[in-house]
Amino acid sequence: MLSDDEDIPVVDRASLGRVIAVANGKGGVGKTTLAANVAGLAAADGARVLAVDLNGQGNLGLDLGIRGGQADDDGRALAEAIADGRPLAPVRSVRPELDMCVGGTSVGHLPALLSNRYQFQAERQALMLAVSLQQVAGDYDLVVIDSPPENPPLQQLALAAARWLVVPVRSDRASIHDGLGGIARQFALVRKKVNPGLELLGVALFASGSSSRAIRREVRHDVEEVLGAGAPMFEAVVRHSEAVARQSRSRGLLVHELEQAAAANPAFWKLRTGEASRDQVVTATSASVAEDMAALTREMFGRMAELEGDGQ
Ligand SMILES: Nc1ncnc2c1ncn2[C@@H]1O[C@H](COP(=O)(O)OP(=O)(O)O)[C@@H](O)[C@H]1O
Ligand SMILES: [Mg+2]
């Protein structure tokens, strides 16, 4: 699968038209949470979805509830497939319609492995996930890649395999400037070198204490300072909730699943009599956050469809 220039693999971009990379130069901005929930919601809606955890920490597996279980190989299968240019071999059905490539320590070692194996072939190194992904992408309606902060080689792998970039941000100025600056550089580099069709689908405001117009205006201003005027921002804002964050991650449930679990909360009198404990109670805020996630997911799909239409 090599072009005339022996170093650069041929990538069939048409097969990667529905691949979203979720990225930001900073950690703790909601990349993993968004990747898990968007993938899970699309799958719950009947789309065939693949979630790829390109992360040395493997947190996507935590959010999807498979961390430490039988399917968790700490990223070995994913890293080996990418290093060898073989098809990805996802764990099947972590949810109905949702497959997953598990991340972890081996993925953290992947950049060193690639640069050893493909010395002085920077483009080839960046394209190895695209090569592995395109061999299975036909099985899916949507692929969502979660990527790590502060790791240009892994970010480049994600961006070089994607058609769309989604960037979650927190509302504080410092995080916007640090996080967006980093990913904007990788975005420009990858577009120039290996993936000119990569587009910024949008910037999403994550875990905000407020969705007020004033906050959104400020965030937009800060985002435009880094990405330029007219940078696309999603209308939907994921609201802040410590309780939802803690409960979903500790239970390995997506936010809409947490909302469903809330329906089975113990009756208040069982709590009073001690027949049930407070730990079993799922926060009612899960319904609002689930609504935010659904709105954001709908908006992403709407915008993809719109931009795809433009290109025809
Ligand atoms: N709606 C929310 N409100 C507040 N915190 C949240 C929310 N959803 C998730 N979190 C928490 O925010 C932190 C960062 O999220 P994460 O998705 O891991 O970010 P990243 O992948 O960018 O490092 C995590 O501790 C997560 O549990
Ligand atoms: Mg993460």
Which ligand has an atom closest to residue 206 CA? 1
Least trusted range by pLDDT, from 21-25, 174-178, 253-257: 174-178
Q: Is the Cβ–Cβ distance between 187 and 198 less than 8 Å?
A: yes
β-bridge partners, 51: 100, 144
Q: Name the pTM for this structure.
A: 0.95
Alpha-carbon gap, residue 297 to 33, rounded angstroms: 12
Domain spans, the chain? 13-243
CA proximity to 6, closest of 120, 111, 88:
120
Alpha-carbon gap, residue 61 to 199, rounded angstroms: 27
- Report CA(108)–ligand 2 centroid distance (Å): 13
β-bridge partners, 99: 50
For the domain spanning 13-243, the CATH number is: 3.40.50.300
Confidence of residue 312 (pLDDT cuts 50, 70, 90): low
Q: Look at residue 1 and tell me whether its pLDDT is greater than 50.
A: no
Beta strands in 59-163 (DSSP E): 91-95, 98-101, 142-146
- Phi/psi of residue 70, nearest 5 degrees: -60, -35
Q: Look at residue 23 and tell me whether its pLDDT is greater than 90.
A: yes
Alpha-carbon gap, residue 75 to 102, rounded angstroms: 5
Q: Is the Cβ–Cβ distance between 72 and 32 less than 8 Å?
A: no
Query: Does residue 27 have its Cβ closer than 6 Å to ligand 1?
Result: yes
- Report CA(204)–ligand 1 centroid distance (Å): 13
Give the mutation target among 22, 29, 33, 145 for probing the ligand 1 site: most ligand atoms within 8 A of CB: 33
pLDDT more than 90, % of the chain: 81
What is the pLDDT, as a whole number, of residue 135? 98
**Cβ-based neighbour number of residue 230 at 10 Å:** 7
Round the average pLDDT of the chain to a whole number and report it.
93
Which ligand has an atom closest to residue 283 CA? 1
